[in-house]
Chain A
Amino acid sequence: AQTVTQSQPEMSVQEAETVTLSCTYDTSENNYYLFWYKQPPSRQMILVIRQEAYKQQNATENRFSVNFQKAAKSFSLKISDSQLGDTAMYFCAFMGNAGNMLTFGGGTRLMVKP
């Protein structure tokens, strides 16, 4: 079984600054996918960024990028130029080869301050 750990329950950042959210995971699988999901207050969870384990290149989506360290089983999310709308719970998640089944970390509550 796989586990996902997010060691930062809460974080805050000033608007326009950069913040990094940490995530570590454990798995015995070789092919898998890692994700960051965002859950704004009282709104739907949405996919922020995805990383395929077989790809060495770190994924980037606009202001969001990841630092994927496969050997260390680390998968951090960097948010650049933070905006007020980035305030949300962020979940790191793992998907193996058993269908559409996600294993989530405990989440990091991010607050962007004006």
Chain B
Amino acid sequence: KAGVTQTPRYLIKTRGQQVTLSCSPISGHRSVSWYQQTPGQGLQFLFEYFSETQRNKGNFPGRFSGRQFSNSRSEMNVSTLELGDSALYLCASSWLAESLGELFFGEGSRLTVL
């Protein structure tokens, strides 16, 4: 059974550009959530989608957005990139609406903003 797949794994952008990250959950999983991991701020929740609906959103500016498709694949977009957006972006999936913490994480997309 394939795990959570995130693409691209590594990318470099410059300030002001935008970026789209993709997450393919484990087959059958309907919940996808996104986290930003940085050395300074640690792991912070971005947003969660379940059956194409955003259920929760973290405390991030509107430059951060996401969506989920009917096949449960999810994308997140960051517009007008800033240096502080450099981070490891983790995606996690679960097949339950209430997973009780049983989230399956991908390896992440490491974004560097120059």
Contact = CB atoms under 8 A, between A and B. Distances in A.
Contacts of B50: 99-100
Nearest to A45: B105
A: interface residue count bin: 20 to 34
B56 interface: yes
B: interface residue count bin: 20 to 34
A11 interface: no
A102 B45 contact: yes
B27 to A, nearest CB: 17
A44, A93, A100, A104 — most chain B CB neighbours (10 Å):
A100
B42 A101 contact: no
Given A45-B92, A100-B33, A102-B33, 11 more contacts: A44-B105, A45-B90, A93-B101, A95-B100, A99-B50, A100-B92, A100-B99, A100-B103, A103-B45, A106-B42, A107-B42
Interface of A: 33, 35, 42-47, 50, 52, 91, 93, 95, 98-107
